Structure 1
């Protein structure tokens, strides 16, 4: 089951740690999504150029599968173009599933 997290605290910690918390958050939510049936590969791919795009696509695919949202491509484009909003979008959906 996903952990319920405060959206504000995600951004506060992300700013205070100069972005390191966002990486930690992605790893934790990747693990939670995988526990719910997603197939997102290792988070080490986030730090490899070009492979990080593949990883983000698989993350969007896993998110779409777990939340039963329509389009993987739409989520990927949204996550890629508006990456600062990704934690808020994903965490708000995970918070709904945590109830």
Structure 2
């Protein structure tokens, strides 16, 4: 079932919670972001549970692949929300991950998602009010 109201997350809060919890919030964020993007795009190749499992058993090496692939889902979400592509951040995500700066990746990704969610939520609101005013069953 498709969600109709997407919840934004504060970019600053994502960074702070991740740093303050020693990365535990980052694990939760990866799971929920992956799940939301799967629902939004209909592309379930990156499963949230498997992502965490493979990240754990490979001591984080799988996350290089995840950062590379998650950008495809973001771009598909931008297309669905009729938002212009900002840029393909695959290479940037990999380089930042190499230098241990995945929290910056999280900020970039969350910012892009917030833009998509704003547009989708606005579109849902506009569709509801437009449909109520213009159409009648009788």
Match of 1:52 among 57, 63, 67: 63
Match of 2:103 among 75, 84, 99: 84
| Aligned-residue offset at 1:70 | 7.3
Q: Could you say which structure has the larger radius of gyration?
A: 2
Tell whether the 8 Å contact from 1:2 to 1:29 is kept in structure 2 after alignment: no
1:75 partnered with 2:86? no
TM-score by length of 2: 0.60
- For residues 35-82 of structure 1, what are the alpha-carbon distances to aligned partners after superposition, in whole Å with 9 as ceiling and x for unaligned? 1113323322222434333322221221222123376xx422111212
The 2-side partners of 1:7 and 1:30 are apart by 16
Dislocated runs of 4+, deviation >6 Å: none
- For structure 2, the residue ranges without an aligned partner over 5 or more in a row are 80-84, 97-101, 119-138
CA RMSD of aligned residues (A): 2.1
Aligned positions, number: 97
TM-score by length of 1: 0.79
The 2-side partners of 1:65 and 1:10 are apart by 22
The 2-side partners of 1:70 and 1:95 are apart by 13
